[in-house]
Structure 1
């Protein structure tokens, strides 16, 4: 588009001149570029052209480039960070974006992704109720689920001091009503907050969690609790009226007890009340079944 427009404008403004274009100015925005052309044989100079598509936004200011947004979406599903991505681009002789700009885009993309994840889980919980109706059951008939927790450490014991060695953990809840076994609930506990650490190093009296822009969900001196994560997942299920009959988990997990506190009793079609059950299984027995 840029070349076609410049050729047409040059023919209208500089008649009789044989065009010989060269790059006049260029502006790098992450992985995207803006350029303008000028003619070496005359005084023709074009305006700046955006060599990328923009992501439509409601706010004022410059719209983000689709290339920069797509890069952050891809990095979310990989094990490398923005710093390593800059190393890879430099090794391929591609001018890398600034790490500050990449982090700014990453913050925007992750917030949107988090909201879409919450909305998607809500839709899946509503679909569970629809499937119950299609199977001839009540739409709020209890279902069987399984839960487990993933830590960012191979062991909970800290070999160098008191407390746990892990700083992040995520609990997931999987339904067993369909063959897809979709995730219908999750909860994350995080002790890390780079902004809070930076502010404290500069002398500000801030505590995590609690300050603006904090990414931590629990204090650093508070242990990660599977019981608390199970309770939060049970709360999300209860809000969408998804009732649970049986929870399958490993032998040392307390997530099922946390779910039981929230969804403690469900009513059967006959009107009788039953307590929530939980089943502890080893990983081997669980996979064999």
Structure 2
């Protein structure tokens, strides 16, 4: 009998728009076929765990209905009538339509709008090069991100944070605005590890009851768009009860007397009417955060946005 040859394993990384950016081990069957896709065990964050979507990536790559060539719609929208055309025909038709729009309405009438999905830097930078070369309209990332980003920078300064692997060393893990069970399994891997090894408490804050919330020690279901009210009420309680680390704030932040005076008005009663949470829920969350012996990991995400069906549905 012929010996069974084990497939070659290639190292790769998940192409989806997900913060986990999982390291992958991919079985290579031949030059045109991949097999099993697994999380890399030697990557400390991936830790051998990946989501079902990527674990079944070979099915997507080799699916008989996958579109492999350009199609031109020959019927009305929604009719499902398509005609296969060559790549040269597709490129020429797209270029001709762009040029016609430029000639009639000006270059800024063309707006290449893109983000997320499985684009990566190669595809994204290619579109940017075309945009700059032709003078097309542009935006900063998405419509949602473009409006939210200035506020984020004003409040947080920059997009940064601790190493996510430190989550497993925390005594309180706060998952805020992310359905991690469904969309970021690695977050749950490290959160569950913290719970098992350290007895950590898991807090989940979201606008709808989801699978992650079902696993929480404390679940806070608040009204959409009221996260800020909850956050400042927690700050109010931490200052009121002398649970805030003032030495840390004095050394590393621009916390001012004016801001503290503002927070003195943001009581849990005030936040309760806005968020829909009970005063006792807000008080309990603030006490948990303020009395946790080790710094908690906060996994905050942007919630449901316009691109929720095309992105990672955080």
Report TM bin, short chain. Answer: under 0.3
In terms of Rg, which structure is larger? Answer: 1
TM-score (normalised: structure 1): 0.24
RCO comparison, higher one (Cα < 8 Å, 6+): 2
The TM-score normalised by the length of structure 2 is 0.23
- Higher share of residues assigned strand: 1
* Structure with greater helix percent: 2
